[in-house]
Structure 1
């Protein structure tokens, strides 16, 4: 799921691209893709070609849109598209201390938004919405000029919880 904020930040690109090869394991827990989702005769998803998705994203890049998400490099690499760094807001890097490990979207959502995500399977729309909410929180910290303190506290909490969301009682 790719989110962009040309004017009103909302997730709106949710393309599913079928592949020619047989898929033996959809890894649904991480992808959110179920058997049949990529089958043109059975899918309820918006199926499109890699070329069509590439053209849509290329248009948004050329229009100067800002892309907001978590781990966007993977999405852009898959499409073989280069997006100027000034048009990418990646929460995986916004909430990272220099030379420290990357934190999961799930942990960041729990810590900053008091929100539990990825219950059951992965949902790209939930991820995109969560990344937008995290970006808005980051901007709040930026306005208060306290990002270094916030990130230090974040990493203390993450390490204390072994980099995972604590179990809910």
Structure 2
């Protein structure tokens, strides 16, 4: 049999080989990390801090909103609390402030309701010049006609713009002095105006004006003047001033100016035994209008708009 012979060259130990390799290939020192790589963890930490701060702010905002909702709901709940709880609430420091606010709101509402009840004029001061009140006195002629004998016009504040007697060319049969206050001497005086002169002056005053009066249909007829219907405020035509008549009250009739002044203004005019004064009557009509001016103007605007709608349906829209 062949005997295995041991190799003459034995393998060197492993440690020797490693030492030999180390001697042949010396270890290279580890590379230093660049500055950018060293800064990366710092930036990451900074971003994390910013993220945590944003999350905290978000949670805080949510907490604030929830607290505001809770306080709002609690305030509403307290407002509808039982009487005993309300009594306890009045003892709190803020109860006085709440009562003051309620009192102020009550005062404001009461003042507004009072203003609505009085129905004070809503007319702007720059528009006051547009409003005038007129009243005429007449005398009877031989043919039974009523002709102009006196005309009075006052402005929005009741100041006299025009007050004149008018000369009458026809034969006068009835001066109606007990009602009109006009006498023969008034119409023959030098201060009395000629009819045409008076008409021209009155027409100039009434141009583009809102005309207020009582029974203006008769006044405009004796003046021989036409005025736009939407610029007329006649107290004999305003529905709330009319009185019901007939068995069922369905018919509405105009009231006398004397009756309206007493009923609406608590004023006595045209006193028994005293002649009428056209200035006094014009002022009474003016005060009646001003007492309901806001409602009256709303009604006029409604009628004007309705009239325009009807005209557009009939004639078509204007270009």
TM-score under structure 1 length normalisation: 0.70
Tell me the distance in 2 between the aligned counterparts of 1:59 and 1:4: 14
Per-residue CA deviation, residues 39-93 of structure 1 (Å, 9 max, x unaligned), is 125xxxx41112112112222343x111111111111111211111122111111
| The structure with more helix, counted as a fraction of residues | 2
Q: Please give the secondary structure, in 2, of the residue aligned with 1:15.
A: strand
Residue 56 of structure 1: aligned partner: 201
CA distance in 1, matches of 2:167, 2:252: 36
Unpaired runs of 5+ residues, structure 2, are: 1-134, 136-151, 244-249, 299-319
* Structure ranking higher on relative contact order (CA contacts 8 Å, 6+ apart): 1
In the alignment, is residue 131 of structure 1 matched against residue 131 of structure 2?
A: no
Q: Retained in 2: the 8 A contact 1:3–1:68?
A: no
Count of aligned pairs: 137
The question of 1:37 aligning with 2:181 is answered no
Q: CA deviation at 1:131?
A: 0.6
Which of 242, 248, 263 in structure 2 is aligned with 1:96?
242
Distance 1:11 1:101, change over 3 A: farther
Which position in structure 2 is the counterpart of 1:115? 267
**1:100 aligned counterpart, secondary structure:** strand
The structure where strand makes up a greater share of residues is: 2
Question: Does the 8 Å CA contact 1:38/1:47 hold for their aligned counterparts?
Answer: yes
Task: Name the structure 2 match of 1:66.
Answer: 210
- The answer to whether structure 1 residue 23 and structure 2 residue 177 are counterparts is no
* Segment of structure 1 superposing worse, 129-138 or 31-40: 31-40
Paired residues of 2:236 and 2:254 also in contact (CA < 8 A): yes
SS of 2:289's equivalent in the other structure is helix
| Aligned counterpart for 2:221 among listed residues 77, 81, 84 | 77
- Maintained 8 Å contact 2:158/2:283: no
Q: Structure 1: 5+ residue runs without aligned partners?
A: 146-169
Greater alpha carbon shift after TM alignment, 120-129 vs 86-95: 86-95
8 A Cα contact 2:215 2:235, kept in partner: yes
Query: What is the rounded CA distance, in whole Å, between the counterparts of 1:82 and 1:38 in structure 2?
Result: 25
Which of residues 13, 26, 29 in structure 1 aligns to 2:162? Answer: 13
Mapped partners of 1:100, 1:88: distance in 2: 20
* Secondary structure of the structure 2 residue equivalent to 1:115: coil
